[in-house]
Structure 1
């Protein structure tokens, strides 16, 4: 399965250029990554302002959030409320109780959020995003010392997953715009190419010990280079910047006086990345966490970079497949192999659909499917073409692919039933899709693991105890982690994860995940 890295966990403190001596650990339970190279998380908050800010008026901006069909969902923040209840839509909207966290201590919630996997089945990824964005009651043990820590963990996980717009909307919906949330908003705005907005978030936070680099950068962007240089010199003299950090800022401020390539920092952050770009030595986003891929969609990058970024973000489930389709069809392929073969076959399929050429559609479809399966974009491909292809006459391998497309996109179940192969596997999958009882299977494959999940409702005693105590959130997060393990080939984990989802009343989601476990191979 394709690795996804956390931007905050990978590259040090959120507003520092490097993960060096200027970073201070957070003692209040902020989330750290479970992966070793991600452990210096950008979750350490900036010191709070001495005078708490007044609660901001709720943002009423209409947001577009991902859902299983990628339809537009009109949402508004839910008014002035406790910091931890911040959300973009109600819990009930996704079939979960408002008191999701129950008596679970914030530290345990945060640890479970940090462990929430990025590589998983598409339906599980969509559920994860909704879980992170929804409004829930605060944990019962939400003591003042940990106030806002769960919200911060949710924001950081959204950024790790590449969902920058959603993370930004969640920050904007918070009843208080604290220094730590503004620091996250600063990074998000930089990655989206909105430097002026980024600097607005840091306004008035000059005294914060970790905001010297952003303030120097923003002072320079406002055209006051002399004041920026003076601030740099003072910060360096007071030991508020480490040597590498100060060296890059110095190069940024003295750009016209120096020549030669700049060595990229060992641990780059959004600000460090943006400065490198401003100096004319951009660092490719391909080797950076998926959140950086947004920078290549600004229109300043080449077509190849835009395509690479769009595929990464679509695979992560945070970019609508039709946006990727638009890039595929933007111009003629410039080379051959890999990405360019996907571009060519999409353009061939588009022409065939427009001309109504059934034979050409079947040929392009059978060529396209393995190319998209190789990069784990089958579900996105299904979203692109389900509606256009649903009623196309198909036979043989093309019919089997179209059947998979309709099931993965959750479109036209009636047509999928017509195309279903007359095999034990085909009948089993259609029973899942139709919500019917599952036929018995004799082999110990993934289908057997799925069958066990839906036929045996008994949960492990420890999980049942969590549910009885009201710790629904921990059970759900555990289920999502087990689904990811199941996708990687652990049949027992697949059974346990689906059982948990069923116990939580998420039968429809569990059935869609089960279909994906059977149709998509993520064991490589």
Structure 2
């Protein structure tokens, strides 16, 4: 019928047409060109100059006469200690694969180093075609760092390609900041081929008639699958489906599906979803327990600043007992004890606090948070040993090395390692002996990394060494020794010491 034909034609126009005039407002949207401050920038490791006595690198760097692409990153090179030429010289596809795949699970020093590499300001390689930026964004999302994903792509320019926009749109959905991306999509619908996103954004800005018309047209033209049609129909017409059975949950939901299920009153639990979805539980609309569980999950991957976790842990009194509530109580009691500066109060609360941190895999976060205050409390016995080992896991490991709690062989070996000179006569286990080899003065740069450094491929050399260290942590002691030596000879002494200490103090990392 004519009315239907006109309706479909108009809907098709809304779905596909974008005139030159429709693109012009993008230049007027100021925040598209400026990345806003990010509240949750994870801490980076390389904030001080390297302390190694030797560093490998050619005296002269030869740069091809090609157009230099602008550097992109959230943390300046002055803070990370990494040059903006970090990625240049490497084949983009090979480098992107390393960024996406380098294993860091349960290896806190490697997690922090990877986060530093992903966030540092650096130029992409020549002939990059956006591969490195997209790989950085994908790995940040995999780690759960959705706020840095949003900020990084906003700095680079989220509307310059559909691939960038896809990642930005997903991040804004998980961060509860979709007004930004929806405004850009409304101005330029060609940024996404997903009609569900266009319909969602139309409804999000309150234009329900346009959203309904686009849904009708997309259905008639078979542009949306049945599952998405069912969600969108309930999203746009909640009254019609009141009292109806819930929809089946998708096995691998997209951030858009996640938010639409939430909007129709059928929120998905995030515990079984990829880590990036945990970010959605940090919003104010989530309950305290969900926020705590999400914060723990993100802190374990080093995607969240430990101070934010502590803020949630101390926000209010535990609502119940058992599980996470026992951890909250243990942290609060220990925090209170430290505030009183009473050695007796700390002695009583420290063991339960540390056991709770170990059970949740939060040793590194708690060490970062409490080591400075704990260093001021004089303890003895079991509490002194726990406190000392906690401090060895923090950035204050070198000052802790000066005051071991006892003179056992293990404590003396840990103290020498923290000083960067692990004593061979104190090394007993095969792992300790491998660490000694990695710190030996006569150790040499492995051949693979040596070749990469000769070619000016520093970032790739670091990633290759991280991959080697993961094999070392899994039991390949020769790989452990070689990777520790490589870190030190590249000037990453702090990384080497902290990684070695974590191998000995944490059960396969944290």
Q: Scaled by the length of structure 2, what TM-score is found?
A: 0.83
1:481 counterpart = 2:472:
no
> Is the contact made by 2:502 and 2:509 (CA closer than 8 Å) also made in structure 1?
no
Match of 1:127 in 2: 113
Pairwise mapping of residues 171-210 of structure 1 onto structure 2 (< 5 A)? Answer: 171-174=153-156, 177-178=159-160, 179-208=162-191, 210=193
For 1:211, which of 191, 194, 200 is the aligned residue?
194
Pairwise mapping of residues 368-447 of structure 1 onto structure 2 (< 5 A)? Answer: 368-411=353-396, 413-436=398-421, 438-447=423-432
Distance 2:402 2:189 in 1: 63
The 1:523–1:183 alpha-carbon spacing in structure 2 relative to 1, beyond 3 Å, is closer
The 1:348–1:195 alpha-carbon spacing in structure 2 relative to 1, beyond 3 Å, is same
Match of 1:38 in 2: none
Match of 2:212 in 1: 229
1:59 counterpart = 2:34:
yes
1:310 counterpart = 2:295:
yes
Match of 2:80 in 1: 94
Distance 1:128 1:49 in 2: 42
> Is the contact made by 1:441 and 1:448 (CA closer than 8 Å) also made in structure 2?
no
Match of 1:111 in 2: 97
What is the CA distance between 1:407 and its match in structure 2?
1.8
Pairwise mapping of residues 242-261 of structure 1 onto structure 2 (< 5 A)? Answer: 242-258=225-241, 259-261=244-246
> Is the contact made by 1:390 and 1:406 (CA closer than 8 Å) also made in structure 2?
yes
What is the CA distance between 1:124 and its match in structure 2?
2.0
Structure 2 counterpart SS, 1:286:
coil
The 1:245–1:84 alpha-carbon spacing in structure 2 relative to 1, beyond 3 Å, is farther
Match of 2:258 in 1: 273
Q: Which one has a bigger Cα radius of gyration?
A: 2
Q: Which region of structure 1 is more displaced relative to structure 2, 339-348 or 414-423? A: 414-423
Distance 2:467 2:73 in 1: 22
What is the CA distance between 1:495 and its match in structure 2?
2.2
Q: How many residues align?
A: 464
> Is the contact made by 1:191 and 1:295 (CA closer than 8 Å) also made in structure 2?
yes
The 1:347–1:285 alpha-carbon spacing in structure 2 relative to 1, beyond 3 Å, is same
> Is the contact made by 2:141 and 2:149 (CA closer than 8 Å) also made in structure 1?
yes
Distance 1:82 1:257 in 2: 57
> Is the contact made by 1:445 and 1:491 (CA closer than 8 Å) also made in structure 2?
yes
- Deviations along 1:415-438, whole A, 9 cap, x unmatched? 552234323332232223223464
Structure 2 counterpart SS, 1:257:
coil
What is the CA distance between 1:84 and its match in structure 2?
6.5
- Consecutive unaligned residues of structure 1, counting only runs of 5 or more, are 1-47, 72-80
The 1:403–1:508 alpha-carbon spacing in structure 2 relative to 1, beyond 3 Å, is same
Match of 2:448 in 1: 462
- Deviations along 1:92-124, whole A, 9 cap, x unmatched? 643334332343211101111111234143222
> Is the contact made by 1:84 and 1:148 (CA closer than 8 Å) also made in structure 2?
no
Structure 2 counterpart SS, 1:417:
coil
Tell me how large the CA RMSD over aligned residues is.
2.9
Structure 1 counterpart SS, 2:439:
helix
Structure 2 counterpart SS, 1:186:
helix
The 1:404–1:68 alpha-carbon spacing in structure 2 relative to 1, beyond 3 Å, is farther
What is the CA distance between 1:63 and its match in structure 2?
4.6
> Is the contact made by 2:100 and 2:135 (CA closer than 8 Å) also made in structure 1?
yes
Structure 2 counterpart SS, 1:399:
helix
The 1:222–1:389 alpha-carbon spacing in structure 2 relative to 1, beyond 3 Å, is same
Q: Scaled by the length of structure 1, what TM-score is found?
A: 0.81
- Deviations along 1:9-38, whole A, 9 cap, x unmatched? xxxxxxxxxxxxxxxxxxxxxxxxxxxxxx
- Consecutive unaligned residues of structure 2, counting only runs of 5 or more, are 1-17, 48-66
Q: Which region of structure 1 is more displaced relative to structure 2, 508-517 or 393-402? A: 508-517
